[in-house]
Amino acid sequence: MPLRLNAALAVILVCLGAVAPARAVDEDVNAYVNGNFEAMSAEQRALSVEMERAIDRAATSPDLRLRVLAAPWISMQQRITKPEVRFPTAKELADAAQGSTDPYVLAVMAARCRGAMAAECNTIDFLHRWTEVAPQDARAWLNLALWERSQGHEEASVQAFQKITTANELSDPHAMGLQIAIAATKEEGPPSRDQLVLVTQAAATGSMAALPIPSLVPWCGSDDTLTPACRHLADLMLERGSLLDFGLAVAILDRLPATATAERQRLAIEKKAYFWALGRPTTCYLDRALNKKPESPDCSDTDWLNRVAALGEVRYAKAELQRLGVSVADAAAAYDHDLAAAH
């Protein structure tokens, strides 16, 4: 099993919401994170094999979205040791995605063409296509603006970023990937192992496409003409994005002079509360993925993954607190308590 997959699963679990600090990381998980195959338990070795099989199935699916989802996790070792599996080449995937109108495909391909597939495709083609297909998507304009800025095209960058001011939607590649993975492994009852491993990969692929570029935060704090766009983007991320988006929104607002101290304090508390809300069922996810018997009564909720996929992490966390009858302040305090207990 390639080491990158071992480390990837741990990172992916964090992207999926494995953020509950109360969970002590056991030796098996440490072995998985560090890619130490020899130190893994039999259960984790089996999970490693299942991950690879899930990648094989998704990467060769007739569904372009599944092929795009799986592509980042196909290792050279898999290509060499599995000649019977017809993995798509980077160029074949790029060619197939060129005419797509699916925002998820376009978002992931734009991210991939910036990195591993740079020799096979142009990021700008997918970014322009994305803004054409979804002109009200603030994330599409954000990605185009930041790409133009990275290329030294300042005027084009500012023009694209200003489009965010009138955009009223924010796509969530993270949640979109979860929806695709769940639909591909749809079953009644608790998530199956097949579903869990594919969802794991989907979470990471979506997060790659959604992860903000670090230069965004100082950019928003240094140009007053972009403040309205920055504020609107932050508001969208606070309302309907992932928890990564929520954290970025807080960072953006911290750099805007007009942000009141009371708002900063409120958002810091909300961030902890939402991490606590999402971390509870994720502990169950980890246990099931590692074939362990969940001990928490929280694990009786088998529909949480569908709700995260449907709502996105921030909306899910808000709804979960309401469902549980737990206040934001109490959830934030529980987060702090769990964090202290974990250390």
What pLDDT does residue 31 have? 45
What pLDDT does residue 14 have? 36
What pLDDT does residue 13 have? 39
Domain count, the chain: 1
- As a whole number, mean pLDDT of residues 325-342 equals 91
Position 282 pLDDT exceeds 80? no
Residues 6+ away with beta carbon under 8 Å from 260: none
Position 3 confidence tier, pLDDT thresholds 50, 70, 90: very low
What pLDDT does residue 6 have? 36
Q: Report pTM.
A: 0.80
DSSP string for 49-102: HHHHHHHHHHHT-S-HHHHHHHGGG--HHHHHH-TTS-PPPHHHHHHHHTT---
Please tell me what DSSP assigns to residue 137: B
DSSP string for 221-254: HH-GGGHHHHHHHHHHHHHHS-HHHHHHHHHHHH
pLDDT top residue among 285 and 122: 122
Position 136 pLDDT exceeds 70? yes
Minimum mean pLDDT range among 14-23, 194-203, 222-231 = 14-23
Q: Residue 116 phi/psi, 5° resolution? A: -60, -30
pLDDT top residue among 150 and 28: 150
User: Measured between alpha carbons, how far apart are the two ends of the chain, in Å?
Assistant: 32
**Could you list the residue range(s) of the whole structural domain that residue 206 is in?**
3-292+299-342
What pLDDT does residue 197 have? 63
What pLDDT does residue 22 have? 37
**48-100 pLDDT, tens per residue?**
677 777 778 888 889 999 888 888 777 655 666 677 777 888 888 999 998 89
Minimum mean pLDDT range among 28-37, 133-142, 334-343 = 28-37
**141-181 pLDDT, tens per residue?**
999 998 998 899 999 999 999 999 999 999 998 889 888 88
pLDDT top residue among 159 and 217: 159
- As a whole number, mean pLDDT of residues 136-140 equals 96
Three-state DSSP class for residue 169: strand
What pLDDT does residue 103 have? 93
Percent of the chain, pLDDT > 70?
A: 70
Task: Report how far residue 231's alpha carbon sits from residue 125's, in angstroms, rounded to the nearest whole number.
Answer: 28
Position 139 confidence tier, pLDDT thresholds 50, 70, 90: very high
Minimum mean pLDDT range among 11-20, 222-231, 286-295, 307-316 = 11-20
Task: Report how far residue 208's alpha carbon sits from residue 125's, in angstroms, rounded to the nearest whole number.
Answer: 18
Position 133 pLDDT exceeds 70? yes
pLDDT top residue among 162 and 2: 162
Position 196 confidence tier, pLDDT thresholds 50, 70, 90: low
Minimum mean pLDDT range among 201-210, 235-244, 286-295 = 286-295
What pLDDT does residue 125 have? 93
Minimum mean pLDDT range among 105-114, 278-287, 310-319 = 278-287
Position 45 pLDDT exceeds 80? no
Minimum mean pLDDT range among 220-229, 234-243, 290-299 = 290-299
